Amino acid sequence: MASRICASKIEHYRPGLPLDQAFARILENDAGCLLVVAAGQLLGIVTERDLLEAAVTLVPAHRR
């Protein structure tokens, strides 16, 4: 049964959470993703890969 392997406390975050805070939440909660919720509706899921791709775009091209 899925309920036996799911986390009992589900963390969710508002849209517009700054990237640095998103990274921190992933690390603090040892999570692989963040649920984005507004007005009780799931808007999306931000994964570790999404955050890595965002970080790469922030690194200037001459430093890659």
pLDDT tens column, 16-60: 989 889 889 989 988 888 999 999 999 999 999 998 898 888 887
Q: For residue 25, give its domain range.
A: 9-63
- Decide if 4 is inside a domain: no
pLDDT for 56 equals: 86
- pLDDT of the residue at 45: 93
Q: What is the largest CA-CA distance in the chain?
A: 50
- Would you say residue 3 lies in a domain? no
Residue 22 maps to a domain: yes
State the Cα–Cα distance between residues 30 and 16, nearest whole angstrom.
Answer: 21
Asked if the structure places residue 56 within a domain, the reply is yes
Higher per-residue confidence, 11 vs 3? 11
- pTM for the model stands at 0.71
Write the CATH number for 37.
3.10.580.10
Domain count of the fold of the chain: 1
Within 10 A of 46 (CB to CB), how many other CB atoms are there?
A: 19
CB-based contact 21:43 (threshold 8 Å): no
